[in-house]
Amino acid sequence: MFNSQTLGGKLDTRRVVLLAILVALQLVLARFAIPLVIFRISFGFIVTALMGWWFGPLWAGLAAVVGDLINSLMIGVPGGYFPGFTLSAFLGAFIYGCYFYRQKITWLRVILAVLTVVLFVNLFLNSWWVAILSHTPITYHLGARAIGEIVTLIVHPIILYAVMHFEPVVRLKERL
């Protein structure tokens, strides 16, 4: 089912540099996230999806791990480092890579990718991590985060579809 080509293939110097630039961009976008009571509004998902589309599930997931480690350990996040969020970062990028890498970007594919990431990673796993860290029931976090994730399910597919069909982004992808 998975081989080196379906997971992302080999990286040459140019692709490593672009992946590093995307990780840096993801870190910058994380700094400009808008914190709300239960969740944050950020545009980092765009970079994560682009990494999955351009580099495949494995390299996108590993780049997301590197980005999460840099963000948590070097820049610092409230509450300190927690490995569950690193796993979530990997899985989110991996899922986008599975849906987008070497695939035609359609509305259905984008909606299914966002639905999978939002329900499995954002809503379930991240709620679980917060419940562990806060010593509170996961049901509290699931309910509270569900409202924000409903908005995410509407907004993220529209933004991703538009970005993935934006001519300069498509041309850059073709040069990879």
DSSP helix/strand/coil, 41: strand
Please provide residue 83's backbone torsions phi and psi, each rounded to the nearest 5 degrees. -65, -20
Task: Decide if 1 is inside a domain.
Answer: no
Contacts of 44 (CB under 8 A, 6+ apart): 26, 29, 30, 33
**Domain harbouring 171, CATH code:** 1.10.1760.20
* The predicted structure's pLDDT at residue 37: 63
Which residue segment(s) compose the domain that 19 sits in?
A: 10-175
Task: Decide if 2 is inside a domain.
Answer: no
Q: What is the pLDDT of residues 94-119, one digit of tens each?
A: 999 999 999 999 999 999 999 999 99
Q: Return d(Cα 76, Cα 40) in angstroms, integer.
A: 16
Q: What is the pLDDT of residues 144-176, one digit of tens each?
A: 888 888 989 999 999 999 999 999 999 999 888
Task: Decide if 108 is inside a domain.
Answer: yes
Among candidate residues 81, 29, 31, the one with its CA nearest the CA of residue 50: 29
On whether the pTM is more than 0.85, the answer is yes
Task: Decide if 3 is inside a domain.
Answer: no
Q: What is the pLDDT of residues 15-53, one digit of tens each?
A: 999 999 999 999 998 878 777 665 667 899 999 999 999
Q: What is the domain count for the chain?
A: 1
State the CB neighbour count (10 A cutoff) for residue 151. Answer: 11
